[in-house]
Amino acid sequence: MYKLSLFIVAIAMFTSCGKKEKDTEDFSTGSATTEADAGDSSYDPNRGLGKHTSIDLGDKLDVAMAAEGEKIQAVKCSACHKLTDEKLVGPGWKGVTERQKPEWIMNFITNPDPMIDKDPELQAQLEICLVRMPNQSLTDADARNILEYMRQNDGVK
C-alpha cells in the first residue's frame, strides 16, 4: 500500500510539473486570457502579479466552496503543503489568509512563476524550500475554492 501511495504521488508530481501556457476563463467577465497576458509589468506586493485586483470574500465562509477547495487541495496541493504551519516541500498553509490579501493568494495560485520572479518574500521562501511552486493550471474558480478552503483552515466561519 505504501508503494502504491508513493507511486501515485510521484505520478501526480511529474504530471503537474512544467510550465504550460493555458487559456483560462475570467469568471467575472467571461473573457479569455492567457497566463502570459495576466497582469501588467508593475508588481504590487499587496495583490501580487496577475488579473485579480479585487476579491469579495463576504463576511461568512462559503461552506460549499470550501468543500470543493478541500477536494482540489487533496489532489493538487497536499503533496507539498500541510494545513499546519509546518513546512513539507512548500510552506504550511496555516495563517496564510491572515498574512496575505485574497487578491495576492488568487494571483499566486493561478500565476505562480511571474510572482516568484518578482516578489522578494517568495524569493526568500524559495531559498528555504528550494523548489518552485509548479503552475497547476488551475482555473479561477478552482483557485477561489482553494482560497475559501484556506479561510476555513484559518478559522473563518
Q: For residue range 116-131, list pLDDT tens digits in order.
A: 999 999 999 999 999 9
Q: How far apart are CA 128 and CA 124, in angstroms?
A: 7
Query: For 74-84, what is each residue's pLDDT tens digit?
Result: 999 999 999 99
Q: Crossing angle for the helix pair 63-72 and 140-153, nearest 10 degrees? A: 100
Q: Are 102 and 55 in contact (CB under 8 A)?
A: yes
pLDDT at 59: 86
Q: What is the pLDDT of residue 63?
A: 98
Q: What is the mean predicted confidence (pLDDT) over 147-153?
A: 98
Share of the chain above pLDDT 90, in %: 69
Please give the helix or strand (H or E) that residue 24 lies within, else none. strand 23-25
Whole-number pLDDT of residue 58: 87
How far, in Å, CA of 8 to CA of 10, rounded? 5
16 pLDDT tier (thresholds 50, 70, 90) = very low
pLDDT surpasses 80 at 13: no
How much is the mean pLDDT over the chain? 82
pLDDT at position 43: 86
Residues 13-20, mean pLDDT to the nearest whole number: 42
**Per-residue cell: 22:** 493555458
DSSP result, 35-86:
TTTSS-SS-BTTTBSSS-------SS--HHHHHHHHHHIIIIITTTB-SSS-
Which pLDDT does position 41 carry in this prediction? 56
Cα 69 to Cα 22: distance, rounded to the nearest angstrom:
21
State yes or no: pLDDT of 18 exceeds 90.
no
Q: Domain spans of the chain? A: 2-153
Q: What is the CATH number of domain 2-153?
A: 1.10.760.10
